[in-house]
Amino acid sequence: MITRKSVAELSSMLSAKECSAKEIADAYIKEIARIDPTINAYISFDPDNLLLQAAQSDERRAGGKPLSEWDGIPVAIKDNMSTRGIKTTCGSKILHNYIPPFDATVIEKLKQKGFSILGKANMDEFAMGSTNETSFFGPVRNPWDTQRVPGGSSGGSAAAVAACMAPAALGSDTGGSIRLPCAFCGVTGIKPTYGRVSRYGIVAYASSLDQVGPITRTVEDTLSLLNVISGRDPRDSTSAETTSISPSVLKEGVRGLRVGIPEEYFEGVDPETKKAIDDNLSALASQGAVLVPVSLKMKKYAVPVYYLIATAEASSNLARYDGVKYGYRAEGSLTLEELYQKTRSEGFGSEVKRRIILGTYALSSGYYDAYYVKALKIRSLIIEDFKKAFEDVDLIVTPAATSTAFKLGEKISDPLQMYMSDILTISVNLAALPGLVLPAGFDSKGLPIGMQILASHFEEEKIFKAAYAVESGNPVTYPVL
């Protein structure tokens, strides 16, 4: 079944002429038509455009000039990444009809290798949410249990991959928005080191925290996609020169790798989740890894620090949506101030409004030093906390979430409870570190459990070694849909 093939397997099939790009496109068109009315993973999907891209790929291969080994393989794109000629809504009413005139750098890089744009994946509005329930286009449902959340904000990307409606997807991660959906949906994804991947053309939520990364069903595919989208971009001053990670590292094993186990990240974790992580750690140890206790005491400050810094940056970034330049515009005979107010009142959802208000308050006169500046200082302490831990270990392993996926509606009405969903992931963004999440088993309800592997800056290679070793004990499984 084509839709259950990995990116690597599809690449081999295309090279061996066992299938065509059109056959791959046809298979995904059928699966999306069958499954997505239930899951709601896509905001935009254009079968005709996908078939056109497939025909162009098949023509290149017939002429012996494929753009790469991946030419003709489709990828789903989170809907906060600019795609020329394709709607980019950020899951918001205020951008519901916005069609960008340019591609984000990551989209350019995919196209240069011949990847096709499969569709734009649903997401929490402006990436603000942990459950994918804040989207203007309705919530995404978890393929393993459609009464449960897929995680957010990249829930559409993760759900599409888990439900075999895409072989791979791009997501963005500001506080766990790739990793939490991967944990809840039972797929693999990485939030790279801040700067490894260009943010040009990514609609900003919190500029010092946002980072794009791939979501796939295998560690090998995640590594391949990360190599494709990484690298210096002169249009993004925060991007860094990087070298590709050799696929050979996957087979090098974990012997001698020192793996840190922070007790603080196991506090309050569901017993079944904890046991699954412990079992996988034992498996790593049996392959030669050395397990080392470490302490990350600053974790307890991560949630308040994150929600001060992220909302402050969001209040600045979202000021551009005013009904004047593009996007939704309120109607009526209005003064300029009234136009701003009515456009934002009607165009933004409640969670986005809440975060803009929080951020504006934290940046306001009289509160800037007390809140925002203090949060920046504690962020520095969180960075030092990780730096000290990585002096003794190569990797740090934690659960990705304190529990498996919870039910739709369970936390959306309680913002603080929803914010706490990210407690095990947000420190990684504050410290600009890389973090990968992959399946680590299932709980007694049949829901996926996610394991998080962290490394120091630009040391993703070590993460992939350990992730591949973990994956060998947790074969890819699929929900019944």
From the list 6, 130, 135, 153, the catalytic residue is 153
Helix residue spans in 40-70 (DSSP H): 47-62
d(CA 75, CA 141): 20
From the list 177, 224, 239, 456, the catalytic residue is 177
d(CA 105, CA 115): 14
d(CA 175, CA 438): 17
| Residue 471 C-alpha from the chain's centroid | 19
User: How many Cα atoms within 13 Å fall on the side-chain side of residue 54?
Assistant: 22
**298 in Cβ contact with 377 (< 8 Å):** no
Identify the CA nearest to 471 among candidates 77, 142, 8, 84: 8
From the list 11, 20, 44, 78, the catalytic residue is 78
| Residue 377 C-alpha from the chain's centroid | 27
Q: Supply the DSSP symbol for 249.
A: G
Q: Supply the DSSP symbol for 368.
A: I
User: How many Cα atoms within 13 Å fall on the side-chain side of residue 454?
Assistant: 28
**308 in Cβ contact with 419 (< 8 Å):** no
d(CA 444, CA 175): 28
Which residues touch 57 (CB under 8 Å, ≥6 apart)?
21, 66, 71, 72, 114, 116
d(CA 476, CA 186): 9
Identify the CA nearest to 186 among candidates 466, 445, 459, 455: 445
Q: Is 153 a catalytic residue?
A: yes
d(CA 309, CA 358): 10
d(CA 451, CA 436): 8
d(CA 368, CA 281): 43
Residue whose structure tokens are 């939520």: 205
d(CA 326, CA 42): 23
d(CA 68, CA 66): 5
User: Residue 342 corresponds to which tokens in the numbers above?
Assistant: 């009515």
d(CA 41, CA 344): 26
Asked if the bond preceding 154 is cis, omega within 30° of 0, the reply is: no
Q: Is 78 a catalytic residue?
A: yes
Q: SS3 of 228, please?
A: helix
Give catalytic residues, as residue numbers: 78, 153, 177
